[in-house]
Amino acid sequence: MDLKLSISISSVKGGEKMFDKILYPTDFSRNAEKCLAFVQRLREAGTREVVLLHVLDRRSFDLLSALDSETTAHAAEENMVKSSLEKLNETAQELKNSGLAVKIRVEKGVPFSEILKIAEEEDVSAIIVGSHGTSNLTEVLLGSVSEKVIRKSKRTVLVVKR
């Protein structure tokens, strides 16, 4: 481990656990994917395990079932879960190649609430998010999901800028 990094970490109480287990929620946007390189480097700061999470927005499902028959909506939902798992598995492989243990999760719900819930459930040391996601509005400081995660979580949040 880099000397400067190990000194600054050990000077913080409980420092060796600061980055032990990381929650990495992704919406598969370019902004969220920028976090990957940072997570890989976090191994040098003591990260052992990464929980990779994608949240399927409950509100888009409700819209789907309102527009389509129940069976069509159900099939579309299954497909979304399947393609999310495939995409998460690709990222998981890259993290495993860097020597990290990885757990993948796909949840349905409101993205920020699921991120907060899983952070507690998995008892992570920190959460890493992109400052922006798929919407990526030019004049906006933070996306609404990252803004709520930073504001509402008691845990450390690392924000990777676009």
Kindly tell me which residue out of 23, 27, 116, 119 binds ligand ATP, with binding defined by CB under 6 A: 27
Least gap, CB of 54 to Mn ion (angstroms) = 12
Please choose, out of 5-13, 58-66, 92-100, 134-142, the segment that lies near Mn ion by the rule CB under 5 A. 134-142
Indicate the burial class of 149 (C-beta count within 10 angstroms; 0-12, 13-18, 19 or more): buried
Q: Are 158 and 55 in contact (CB under 8 A)?
A: no
Residue 84 identity: S
Nearest alpha carbon to residue 133 among 68, 39, 19, 55? 55
Kindly tell me which residue out of 111, 124, 125, 126 binds ligand ATP, with binding defined by CB under 6 A: 111
> Tokens 């609404």 identify what position?
144
Kindly tell me which residue out of 125, 145, 153, 157 binds ligand ATP, with binding defined by CB under 6 A: 145
Please choose, out of 11-19, 38-46, 58-66, 135-143, the segment that lies near ligand ATP by the rule CB under 6 A. 135-143
Q: Which is nearer to ligand ATP, 53 or 92 (CB)?
A: 53
Enumerate the H helices of 21-155 as residue ranges: 30-33, 35-41, 58-67, 70-97, 111-121, 144-152
Looking only at the bridges linking them, the beta strands covering 21-25 and 101-109 are unpaired
106 lies in the site for ligand ATP, by CB under 6 A? no
- Give me the residues that bind ligand ATP (CB under 6 A), please: 25-27, 29, 31-32, 53-55, 57, 111, 129-130, 132-136, 143-146
- Give me the residues that bind Mn ion (CB under 5 A), please: 133-135
